[in-house]
């Protein structure tokens, strides 16, 4: 079985700045990390490999420094990695990103399972995984909090918030997973030391056989008209000390004083 797991490099901070001219996230001087939900996807891929055998290929699109997240995936246990890096990919919306990742999947070929995290923490659109599945013409399951592969089928449970849905799909298929599916493992010392010996591939648009009219800004029909930081407010905080009964009375008195009750 060949499993492709898609990972993204995201800012490792909640203090994200927005460029007022471009409307994009300012990444200069900001540390990056693996998208947390993609860590669950990597773990899911490795568990499938351990259960049924196969190869796990980590795939990412981004600037050259995005190789760091792929190295992390290799240290966790993935077998090889592919970085899609070209200026022609820059500024892509989810459609252009999905097209590029789908072309990479086609180029890698012979895949049985595509795994994504449910969304990326920098935008949280949850659109890319379904778009990739649509481009490839494979069935898709989103929001999976369980996954089992058996006899050429993927058995999943979808967490819909107020309900669960059990589904099965014929492979090849795409599954995006939630944070509740597993607890991602930490890279081992052996994994860190051996990741450099595993195959690393970097593809530009030509190598991935992409039509650059469909990548990056050129291939993005949607634009952000305006992105802005929410206003920050300083709020006075009152702390209550003492026994439970004393604190409860003081809390009620404070609410009454502000005419909240």
Residue 187 DSSP code? P
Report how far residue 31's alpha carbon sits from residue 23's, in angstroms, rounded to the nearest whole number: 19
The per-residue pLDDT for 216 is: 96
The answer to the question of residue 137 being in a domain is yes
Report how far residue 186's alpha carbon sits from residue 73's, in angstroms, rounded to the nearest whole number: 10
> Which residues, at least 6 apart from 199, have a Cβ–Cβ distance to it below 8 Å?
79, 80, 81
Q: Rounded to whole angstroms, what are the CA distances from 79 to 41, 69, 72, 182, 261?
A: 15, 14, 11, 20, 61
Residue 183 sits in a domain whose CATH number is 3.40.50.620
The answer to the question of residue 9 being in a domain is yes
The per-residue pLDDT for 10 is: 92
Extended strands (E) in 72-163: 80-84, 113-117, 140-150, 153-159
The answer to the question of residue 226 being in a domain is no
Report how far residue 85's alpha carbon sits from residue 105's, in angstroms, rounded to the nearest whole number: 15
Rounded to two decimals, the pTM is 0.84
The answer to the question of residue 260 being in a domain is no
The answer to the question of residue 42 being in a domain is yes
pLDDT, tens only, 25-36: 666 666 789 999
Angle at 111 between CA 106 and CA 116, to 5 degrees: 90
The per-residue pLDDT for 233 is: 79
Which residue ranges in the chain fall short of pLDDT 70? 13-30, 229
The per-residue pLDDT for 232 is: 76
Angle at 107 between CA 175 and CA 114, to 5 degrees: 10
The answer to the question of residue 110 being in a domain is yes
> Which residues, at least 6 apart from 177, have a Cβ–Cβ distance to it below 8 Å?
37, 40, 41, 44, 115, 116, 117, 118, 144, 145, 147
Q: Which domain covers residue 30, as residue numbers? A: 2-214
pLDDT, tens only, 42-69: 999 999 999 999 999 999 999 999 999 9
Report how far residue 150's alpha carbon sits from residue 186's, in angstroms, rounded to the nearest whole number: 27
Q: How many domains does the chain have?
A: 1
Contact between 216 and 96 (Cβ < 8 Å): yes
């Amino acid at each position: 079985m060949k499993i492709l797991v898609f990972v993204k490099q995201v800012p490792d901070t909640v203090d994200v700045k927005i460029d007022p001219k471009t409307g994009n996230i300012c990444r200069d001087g900001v540390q990056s990390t693996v998208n947390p939900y993609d860590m669950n996807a990597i773990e899911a891929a490795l568990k499938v490999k351990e259960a049924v055998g196969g190869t796990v290929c980590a795939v990412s699109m981004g600037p050259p420094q995005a190789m760091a997240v792929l190295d992390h995936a290799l240290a966790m246990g993935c077998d090889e990695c592919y970085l899609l890096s070209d200026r022609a990919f820059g500024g892509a919306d989810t459609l252009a990103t999905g097209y590029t990742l789908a072309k990479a999947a086609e180029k890698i070929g012979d895949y049985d399972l595509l795994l994504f995290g449910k969304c990326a923490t920098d935008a949280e659109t949850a659109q890319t995984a379904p778009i990739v599945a649509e481009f490839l013409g494979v069935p898709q399951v989103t929001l999976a909090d369980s996954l089992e592969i058996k006899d050429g089928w993927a058995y999943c449970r979808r967490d819909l918030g107020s309900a669960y849905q059990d589904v099965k799909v014929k492979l090849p298929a795409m599954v995006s997973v939630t944070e509740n599916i597993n607890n991602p493992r930490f890279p081992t010392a052996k994994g860190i030391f051996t990741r450099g010996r595993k195959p690393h591939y970097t593809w530009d648009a030509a190598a991935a056989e992409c039509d650059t009219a469909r990548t990056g800004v050129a291939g993005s029909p949607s634009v952000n008209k305006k992105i802005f930081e929410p206003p920050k407010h300083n709020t006075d905080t009152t702390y209550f000390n003492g026994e439970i009964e004393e604190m409860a009375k003081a809390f009620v008195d404070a609410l009454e004083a502000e005419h909240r009750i």
